[in-house]
Amino acid sequence: MAARILSGKSIADAIKAEITAEVADLREVHGFSPGLTVVRVGEDAASAVYVGSKVRTAEEIGIKSEHLHFPAETSQDEIIAVVEKLNGRNDIDGILVQLPLPKHIDEREILERIDPTKDVDGFHPINAGRLMQGYPALAPCTPAGVIEILKRSDIEIAGKHAVIVGRSNIVGKPMAILLLRENATVTICHSRTADLGEITKQADILVAAIGRAGFISGDQIGEGATVIDVGINNVSDAEIAATFFDGEELEKRLRAIENRGFTLVGDVNPKEAMEKAADFTPVPGGVGLLTVAMLMKNTVTAAKLRRRI
């Protein structure tokens, strides 16, 4: 039996509808709309697409949004000055600096300059520490979105063995903390893990977040597992695409490669995962759609926390 596909779109739409109602209530009862500013530096094509999606979604929901775009040669001190000005603005509840930044800018310093109460990406060390210790905190959007997918798909987390492949500060580590909060037993795997497949096969919930196209194969997945694919990778080789897809889906992917030069693939081999897993998130159409929705949710949460609502 093929795995159940967990639709990121339907879950993201439900979250956005809830946030829209919450924003309307803040406007009617408390007289303000949350504000979000996205800072982009340089001409990275993918960043431009992501920022456009975030700004459009904010406007649809009723969040006031700003997009500040600076040329690639903008200095680090200039970006710090922009962030500090935004920190001082009472009408701005969320600040997001789109990554990656140009190489001459220290990403860590820029992110640490953001007021933690406005850090809607959840990357500031103070928010990371609060998350670790179980205090209210703005959690990174992608791991928070994974939790929403699991809960809203009626997948039990408590008491289950969750295995995460990847240990980044953006996904792997906060994912582990959020799963622990839900009373899962958590194992983190990484590039130095011995016998990776033997560990991933034990997972009731397998989260792949390593950035390698189709790296997790079917023989690394336990029968009946829930597989959450966080990866987003470009595949431009038709022969490689044929190892991940077949039938109509392969034809669609080959057309994408022909028309735009690539197709998007996750960190899990989808053809093989569909034969082993009970539940599976597709790429695209899965976790990625939740990331923007959770950014909006964090912006509203930040607005309420700052005003003690």
d(CA 178, CA 294): 14
Alpha-carbon separation of residue 124 from 99, 113, 140, 172 (angstroms): 14, 9, 10, 16
d(CA 169, CA 155): 25
d(CA 165, CA 172): 7
Number of residues assigned to the chain: 309
Percent helix / strand / coil, the chain, rounded to 5: 50, 15, 35
Tell me how many degrees the CA angle 96-31-88 measures, rounded to the nearest 5. 40
What are residue 96's phi and psi, to 5 degrees? Answer: -130, 120
What are residue 170's phi and psi, to 5 degrees? Answer: -85, -35
Neighbours of 136 (CB within 10 A): 10
Instruction: Write out the catalytic residue numbers.
Output: 54, 98, 121
Neighbours of 102 (CB within 10 A): 18
